Amino acid sequence: MDINVQKVEAVAKELGLDTDDLFGPIKETLLVAYFKHMDIQRRDPEARNYSVDINDKTGAIQIFKKVGRDQFDDVTPENFGRSTEGLVKDIILRKIKHVEDEKKLGKFAKAKGTIIAATVIKDPKEEADGNTRPLHLDIGETFYAVMPLSDTIPGEEYHNGKVLKVYVTDVRMVENERGKRFPRVTVSRAHPKLVQRLFESVVPELTEEIDLNGNPVTPGSYDIEGAEEFETLTRASIVSISREAGSRCKVAVRANLDGFNATGALIGEMGSRVRSVMESIGGEKIDIILYDTEIEKFIANSLSPSQVQNVKVLDRDAKKAVATVPDFQLSLAIGVDGQNVRLANKLTMWSIDIVSDK
């Protein structure tokens, strides 16, 4: 079978795509089919030497194997194209469906991993029931989102008309029992990434790019023909977050420039930035922790607000350590119901035991 190049180009034009957006997946699928036909493992180092070519005029399919520098052998099996005719049709149909889905999803097609504003929708019966079922939210442009109960903040009230900032965990087209496809956006108030995105919205030092000398990088400032690639970074980065939604959260941050006050950047003047984030998540307490590449220092910092006298690594491979604190701060280091040390464990990804100095 030869590929009908004109038909593929027509479909691409109709969908507003580049022809490579269709030919790329077609070639990938044909190569997978060839590996299966020849019993070649995709993980085999030799697999990288194979490639698919589709003649841009005749549509003829050929499989080539690289046998030397700039040397390729035609290894196309006899009647190979005929056996893959259904695969090519499936690829085109899936691409058409994908484009149609993206059009239906509109601006939310790429919303996964971002924060958006949403308005709670509850009828009187749901209001009376309290928070006993997944929440539905209006996110604009006739779109609605669902928030599973596991993604709500314990103790937070969700009355009809309440406006919230939510984290988008999933965006997809789903099919109901009648076969009708419709968009579904899933959101969360309990996800740790919500806290990160909220900080990024109020702390420019987390998102604004600078060069290695600390100078701001503006669009086009390095757009010089023939210029070498340059390295950019932000003044600070969030390394990890541990969270028990509705109660407490620890955020580990590091400075990417010597001398930069990363924790101060997140806290803000008079605590304005961290307070803004706390207000967005119902007053949940937030500890800003300075990250350190030395695990002993990072563990000590993670147990804030307690003062740690010493951290000893017990087993580096198993990530086990013991922290010594003043006897009068033992309960503070452990926290109510063990919360402080539990959050520190998650933040550092180490198992931490707490002992007193007596």
Is 29 domain-assigned? yes
Summarised one tens digit per residue, pLDDT across range 121-178 is 987 666 555 566 789 999 887 778 999 999 999 999 998 999 999 999 998 877 777 7
> Radius of gyration of the chain from Cα atoms?
28
Exposed (0-12), middle (13-18) or buried (19+): which is 88, by Cβ within 10 Å? buried
Q: Is 321 within a domain?
A: no
The pLDDT score that the predictor gives to residue 229 is 47
Residue 266 lies in a domain: yes
Tell me the CATH number at 61: 3.30.1480.10
Distance CA 329, CA 256 (A): 32
Pair (79, 123) in one structural domain:
no
* End residue of a domain, out of 79, 105, 131: 105
Which of 17, 195, 173 shows the shortest CA–CA distance to 108?
Answer: 173
**Whether 152 and 119 share a structural domain:** yes
**pLDDT score of 226 more than 60:** no
Q: What is the CATH number of the domain that holds 154?
A: 2.40.50.140
Q: What pLDDT is recorded for position 225?
A: 44
pLDDT of residue 128: 53
* Residues 44 and 94 reside in one and the same domain: yes
| Residue 15 sits in the same domain as residue 97 | yes
Q: Is residue 169 part of a domain?
A: yes
Residue 313 lies in a domain: no
CA dihedral 274, 279, 281, 283 (to 10 degrees): 90
Question: Residue 133 has what pLDDT?
Answer: 77
Write out pLDDT tens, residues 245-272. 999 999 999 999 999 999 999 999 999 9
Query: Side-chain half-sphere of 301: how many Cα atoms within 13 Å?
Result: 20
The answer to whether residues 116 and 70 belong to one domain is no
Q: Does residue 347 fall inside a structural domain? A: no
Three-state secondary-structure class, residue 91: helix
Number of H helices, E strands in the chain: 11, 14
* pLDDT score, position 234: 92
Half-sphere exposure of 262 (CA within 13 A, CB side): 22
Interval 197-216: pLDDT, tens: 999 999 999 999 887 777 77
Inside any domain, residue 350: no
Domain that holds residue 198: 191-239+256-278
- Count the domains in the chain: 3
Helices 192-202 and 272-280, packing angle to 10 deg: 140
pTM, rounded to two decimals? 0.71
The answer on pLDDT for 57 being more than 50 is yes
Average pLDDT over residues 174-186: 76
Same domain, 30 and 84: yes
